[in-house]
Amino acid sequence: MLLLEVLRKPKHISSLRLSEWDLLIRQARSADLLGRLWREVELSGQVDRVPEAPKRHLLAAKFLVERQHDAVRREIGYIDEAMRAAGLRAILLKGAAYVATGKALATGRTFSDVDILVDSDDLAAAESALSIYGWQPVKQSAYDEAYYREWMHEIPPLVHVKRNTTLDLHHAILPITARIKVNTQGLREGNALVDGCTNLYVLQDADMLLHGATHLFHEGELAHGLRDLHDLHLMFGEFGALPLFWDHLLIRARYLGLMTPLLYAVRYSRRKFHTAFPQEFLGQLKNQPGQGSILMDFCYDRALLPKHASCEQFGSGLARVMVYLRSHWLKMPLGLLVYHLSVKSLARLRAKEDKAATA
């Protein structure tokens, strides 16, 4: 796949023909990695080697990312104000946290919402405080509303009535019914206050990486899977340069109960991006259970690729379905899983029938 080849070795840019640039731009746009592609072009000193037409697409992506980051910084200020007024503490997650802390991996990173984590005991108060500041829940069916409230690790998405920005309010990083039991309280240890804020924090670096891995390998629809894996690849590189990081990462993975997501993050980051790891670190992982399998490789090697015609392989559709089913299997026990999928399937069938009747 051309996009992977360029992200692994940006020097390849200098030898691309215009037809290859056309394909590269399409693949990167499909993967939501166009901004990151520009980042790699700049870092590799290849800007002058990019033809004018693809350069316009890359520059447009760069400007879009910069506007998004400016908007997210403003949202962070508003969220902090709401939390301060309610006397609550919240933790920024994922993309917003990368931007707020000025991480190198934030450069070129696009995203569509802001995620925050609060204590489960503070969930109702946080939702009320955010409502006062204009964030209202997206309308859901009665079943979906109950499903979020009773089983999920977050409430239904909140959208601001004026700015139309989306906020996801979490009380955990996995559903309460998930097969992996996360030490959620442990995630609140060692947090750092966001610069300029009084009530908003970010996870420590190791936990930030572990949360990204947990989110990716419990997600059922991987529209941005390659982008999220690229996040992990960049975190391994950026954080791995810090003193004692690798030992600390293993300690935190065991303490939080997130060793399995870490193993998958290492495995597929190496398979897709050829990420470099210290041999001592890899040796410590060697005897851990959950190293992957032929079936897992079949699924994730395909499902992590962009949903673009040039990236389709034999079995890609089946792989996506299996990843979707696996994610639900990990989130809930069998009885609830069968019930949930049956309800959702019937709802989709009724929606199709209603649409056909209207037409």
pLDDT in tens, 265-303: 999 999 999 999 999 999 999 877 766 689 999 999 999
pLDDT in tens, 66-76: 999 999 999 99
Please state the domain count of the chain: 1
Q: Domain holding 350: CATH number? A: 3.30.460.40
Report whether 143 contacts 343 (CB < 8 A): yes
Closest among 253, 255, 258 to 215, alpha carbons compared: 258
Positions of the chain with pLDDT lower than 70, given as ranges: 290-292, 351, 353-357, 359
Contacts of 53 (CB under 8 A, 6+ apart): 18, 21
Q: How many CB atoms lie within 10 A of CB 220?
A: 16
Distances (CA, A) of 76 to 25, 49, 96, 113, 179: 31, 37, 8, 11, 32
pLDDT in tens, 190-215: 999 999 999 999 999 999 999 999 99
Contacts of 162 (CB under 8 A, 6+ apart): 134
pTM of the entire predicted model: 0.92
Report whether 65 contacts 109 (CB < 8 A): yes
| Sign of the dihedral defined by the CA atoms of residues 250, 290, 225, 345, in that order | negative
Q: Which domain holds residue 114?
A: 2-355
